[in-house]
């Protein structure tokens, strides 16, 4: 089963009133208002397999697990979704120690093994919603550590997925946020093994490998960037190259959404990252003939649809310029 198969099989397609679609499907063009302004949705946008799966597991826990139910940290980096879950009875705790009884859901980013052990030791039921692609990176990190490699993680220092990977690497991994920031002295002459935070760009991994190759005595690189991330990044870049404005929708605390905004911004300076449709401003789309919509893997279909609806209004207001 490939990652592509997973995503395409699991991702819902949302038909647009204009006949287009987004999600794992073909993406498409959505007519704007009377102006003729065209709204183009990235070929791959919105919830990925891991997020769909985690939300489903949290729902299952609420339906049949031991209550109360809480996720360890926000289940996805989208405050609006987290608020909606809270209203339905799925809370959030910041630490295992804050939860006395019930079911603890481990989110897609995963956690260090000792965190799960601590939760079980407290008598909590644990539902592990770690994305299977993150779990692959965790297993690789553990295997590298056990085989005596110095583990390098390409990722964001404070990201929970990276914290979990560090735990699987015995707490001794070196985190590199930028490929150019390799700690040369610590790695020279060592056996070095690399894993990557799943939302990093493949190009960054290539640069890191190139920087490490002349230093390391032995270099083993696992590309653990997930397919869903790559698809969204490729689709967003493709989109940015053919529109006048890009609106990237998703949580500001979502690593993969921020990355989309960054990549689009490098291609199209008129790129704006919003968390909700209401934030889209009329002046952003003034004079635009084509407006693109991209969305991260933690952005619900409803938010993408709302953004399209908002753009329809605004394109109408600025039509024909």
Find the shortest distance in angstroms from Cβ 297 to ligand SF4.
Answer: 4
Q: For ligand SF4, give the closer residue by CB, 77 or 270.
A: 77
Strand 14-15 with 21-22, pairing: antiparallel
Tell me the β-bridge partners of 91. Answer: 70
Cα–Cα separations (whole angstroms), residue 133 to 3, 7, 185, 280 = 8, 12, 31, 33
Residues that bind ligand SF4 (CB under 6 A): 48-51, 108, 131, 133-134, 198-199, 226, 228-229, 256, 297
114 is catalytic: no
CB of 200 to ligand SF4, least distance (A): 11
Residue nearest to ligand SF4 (CB): 50
107's enclosing H/E stretch is none
Two structure tokens written together for 239: 């989109």
Complex with ligand SF4: residue 3 or 16, whichever CB lies closer: 3
Q: Out of 161, 230, 275, 303, pick the active-site residue.
A: 161
Closest CA to 260 of 304, 296, 291: 296
Shortest Å distance, C-beta 104 to ligand SF4: 18
Crossing angle of helices 132-146 and 49-64, rounded to 10°: 100
For ligand SF4, the closer CB: 256 or 268: 256
DSSP letter assigned to residue 207:
H
CB of residue 313 vs ligand SF4: minimum separation in angstroms?
31
CB of 5 or CB of 313, closer to ligand SF4: 5
193: phi then psi, degrees, rounded to nearest 5: -120, 135
What is the set of active-site residues? 161
């Amino acid at each position: 089963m490939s990652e592509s198969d997973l995503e395409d099989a699991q991702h819902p397609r949302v038909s647009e009133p204009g006949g287009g679609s987004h999600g794992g499907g073909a993406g498409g063009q959505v007519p704007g208002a009377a102006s003729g302004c065209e709204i183009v949705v990235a070929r791959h946008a919105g919830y990925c397999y891991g997020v769909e799966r985690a939300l489903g597991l949290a729902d299952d826990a609420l339906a049949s697990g031991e209550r109360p139910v809480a996720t360890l940290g926000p289940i996805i980096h989208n405050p609006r979704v987290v608020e909606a879950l809270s209203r339905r009875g799925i809370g959030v705790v910041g630490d295992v120690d804050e939860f006395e009884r019930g079911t603890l859901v481990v989110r897609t980013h995963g956690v260090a093994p000792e965190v799960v052990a601590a939760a079980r030791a407290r008598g909590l039921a644990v539902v592990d919603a770690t994305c299977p692609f993150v779990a692959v990176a965790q297993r690789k990190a553990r295997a590298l550590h056990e085989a005596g490699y110095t583990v390098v993680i390409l990722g964001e220092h404070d990201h929970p997925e990276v914290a979990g990977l560090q735990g699987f690497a015995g707490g001794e991994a070196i985190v590199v946020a930028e490929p150019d920031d390799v700690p040369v002295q610590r790695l020279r002459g060592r056996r070095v093994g690399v894993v990557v935070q799943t939302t990093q760009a493949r190009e960054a991994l290539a640069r890191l490998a190139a920087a490490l190759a002349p230093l390391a005595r032995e270099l083993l690189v696992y590309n653990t960037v997930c397919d869903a991330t790559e698809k969204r990044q490729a689709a967003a870049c493709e989109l940015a190259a053919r529109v006048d404005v890009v609106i990237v929708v998703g949580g500001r605390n979502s690593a993969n959404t921020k990355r989309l905004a960054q990549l689009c911004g490098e291609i199209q300076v008129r790129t704006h990252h919003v968390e909700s449709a209401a934030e889209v401003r009329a002046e952003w789309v003034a004079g635009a003939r084509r407006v693109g919509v991209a969305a991260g893997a933690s952005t619900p279909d409803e938010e993408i649809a709302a953004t399209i609806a908002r753009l329809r209004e605004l394109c109408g207001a600025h039509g024909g310029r």
